[in-house]
Structure 1
């Protein structure tokens, strides 16, 4: 597949003033690491804030999961609009398709009411940007109703996940795959975080390459900065420990159990290292198939490494840098990742990364420079990678320094500037060359 990806026709850009963002299954105000909240939440909130700083008003539409949730002004120019769709309570992601039509109707009513109150002609928005496939089905209908371009970000792709399922993990259902295909064929632009995902969209879903654009996510380099490792360890009660950090939702895809088995394998190989080794897990269960913390505790006991497991649960996003700075290495044994935001956050804080050689992690980790990519899902293979990093202080320090420099390439403002340029191009008029 060739670069660059370009729109089907040359267009004269138009100013974009208002954007409707659809995030039906998870609210960007939710703390990452809880339930279905993760890197996508960080992405939506971070980009919306930067777009608003550039003069674009952003309304983020999400499902109300409680009776008191309405419209929340979260940043100047950014609102989160909680819409009624189904019960006033949390709903499993798998059950949300039945409420899509209700959500769409609520969104259409909200827009019409807002337009009338402000004396604006409908539609109020210049662009609809949907996140995840469920939101894409809503975006397709909003595009048709309002007559505005649709931009789609998937964040994960069902067919890609199905290629690397963990043992006993259920495949993504046909309904999801069919829904993704419909959105790919309808959207005016499909965003991918890497060229690898762009290729998957073309080769697996039949996307028109001219409608696929690559915009890498960013990292807040004001928040995620290097620090003194021993000081941060002391602040977290980890003095004297060799810290392997796992950050992410506890689900089979992320393989926290494999991380623990890798720790057990490494401990058995290196008794001296085993005395100080600890796996610090930051994150909570996600979805029906989520891994429960007590299951990890039981596995640790079965493996004889209970002393080497520390479950932190979820922590506020602005507290994560403390954990990254305290880490001797960050382990990401995921079976698939669209990008790998955790890897960039870790690098920004100066922590070397050991990660699976899959998907976006091949972009987020420079193998042998900012960390190591592991070519197997076997615990022993991750143990090999951990051993290389943890027993070679000079190499580890070099990776941390290189990572902090590398992470500065990924900037939310730059990503938002690129995204706004795409919005303006799509909102423009087709250029007709003079005869």
Structure 2
């Protein structure tokens, strides 16, 4: 099958888990002998469109149009529209150069490009919804920017012949918030290849020396935004440190909430106990393996890929029982769970892992078997191709998108 993938991010341009997902999926599809072309943004300063080929995989990187976009609250929306101008031109040129079977869009940021390709080239559109604007705000649309993003998400979902989501929770959310027909929403989880998360012993040792000191080590990995719940992990640290002397925390990642988290750390006199490590890139697997527990304190989490990756790396996992995480972490079997937004419960779950190392090691082994059985990218690629084929056999009925209507209020679900 010949597949055109559209994505806002792709290595080396990485913002969160979406880029890792598209990278792994595209390579798994190509490894299964499908012809895959990814059209994505080029790094800043790139003067012209570039293309690179690796077997059955082609990456087309497109520089942004030199458009003046406003700052302030609406900057992300304006920037997305500006980039879509460039992505659309490149995607149409690619789509018309060969007989593609399907276009696969990833989230609202490439919606205009994807829908234009569907309409102009006449190939089915499959969309993966990685998260929704309403979900990121616990069911609310707090302002005009959120309502604008939500409107594009609804439009894209209802223009798509198939919608793919990463968990049963997200299937409910996309149907509830975006009004996509339930029969066209299909669950395909994210994945992780165990071999790619198996770090060498000396690298694990170096990570331990760098971050742990002489006590236990906790870890967090992800984008630093409010909904990831890092503030709850930091709030739990004083009590945890009293119970487990010398305990430290390493925070891998960056994002717009980093300043507030640093201020919270200082206010709790934890500066020497918390390392803001930024993006660890090639050292992430070793750092995860070096921890005594990886904590996933999300208040909103469509899937929870970091729980899969941490398990594959060999770290015990304590995760909030929310969203897709509830479908991954089975309490007492593949990790420990706690109610989102509750530092006390987080502390109890983490303390259980730190206090009973043999039980934690058993959970790690059980979780690693789960990852190998359920979340290989080869299996995920095969299931995705099945949805491509169904989209070709059963396209969206004409007029389905006309059902779209924005909500009258700001609350979509609770």
In the superposition, the TM-score normalised over structure 2's length comes to 0.85
Instruction: Tell me which of 171, 179, 187 is aligned to 1:206.
Output: 179
Q: Which moved more, 1:327-336 or 1:55-64?
A: 55-64
Is there any run of 5+ residues in structure 1 with no aligned partner, and where? 1-15, 431-435
Instruction: Tell me which of 229, 249, 274 is aligned to 1:279.
Output: 249
Partner residue of 1:99?
82
Residues 103 and 125 of structure 2 are in contact (CA less than 8 Å); yes or no, is this contact kept in structure 1?
yes
Alignment root-mean-square deviation, CA: 2.8
Distance 1:228 1:111, change over 3 A: closer
Partners of 1:57 and 1:89 in 2: CA distance: 36
Deviation string, structure 1 residues 10-39 (Cα, Å, up to 9, x no partner): xxxxxx2x2111113x2x11264xxxx221
Shift of 1:396: 1.4
Partner residue of 1:346?
310
Q: Which moved more, 1:258-267 or 1:307-316?
A: 258-267
Partner residue of 1:219?
192
Shift of 1:240: 2.7
Deviation string, structure 1 residues 229-248 (Cα, Å, up to 9, x no partner): 97465454535331100101
Distance 1:239 1:31, change over 3 A: farther
Shift of 1:406: 1.5
Partners of 1:388 and 1:265 in 2: CA distance: 13
Residues 131 and 152 of structure 1 are in contact (CA less than 8 Å); yes or no, is this contact kept in structure 2?
yes
Partners of 1:183 and 1:94 in 2: CA distance: 15
Q: Which moved more, 1:87-96 or 1:60-69?
A: 87-96
In the superposition, the TM-score normalised over structure 1's length comes to 0.81
Shift of 1:100: 5.4
Residues 184 and 205 of structure 1 are in contact (CA less than 8 Å); yes or no, is this contact kept in structure 2?
yes
Deviation string, structure 1 residues 117-150 (Cα, Å, up to 9, x no partner): xxx5xxx421100001121332122111111000
Residues 85 and 106 of structure 1 are in contact (CA less than 8 Å); yes or no, is this contact kept in structure 2?
no
Shift of 1:74: 5.6
Partner residue of 1:19?
3
Distance 1:244 1:74, change over 3 A: farther
Residues 246 and 280 of structure 1 are in contact (CA less than 8 Å); yes or no, is this contact kept in structure 2?
yes
How many residues are paired up? Answer: 388
Instruction: Tell me which of 353, 378, 381 is aligned to 1:413.
Output: 378
Partner residue of 1:30?
12
SS in 2 for 1:307: coil
Please give the residue correspondences for 1:52-131 in structure 2 after superposition, counting only pairs within 5 Å.
52-64=30-42, 65-68=44-47, 70-73=49-52, 75-87=54-66, 93-99=76-82, 102-108=85-91, 110-111=93-94, 115=97, 120=98, 124-131=99-106
Partners of 2:107 and 2:394 in 1: CA distance: 28
Partner residue of 1:398?
362
Partners of 1:152 and 1:41 in 2: CA distance: 15
Instruction: Tell me which of 256, 264, 269 is aligned to 2:238.
Output: 264
Instruction: Tell me which of 194, 206, 230 is aligned to 2:167.
Output: 194
Distance 1:370 1:71, change over 3 A: same
Instruction: Tell me which of 258, 262, 269 is aligned to 1:304.
Output: 269
Partners of 2:101 and 2:125 in 1: CA distance: 10
Distance 1:339 1:237, change over 3 A: closer
Partners of 1:326 and 1:31 in 2: CA distance: 27
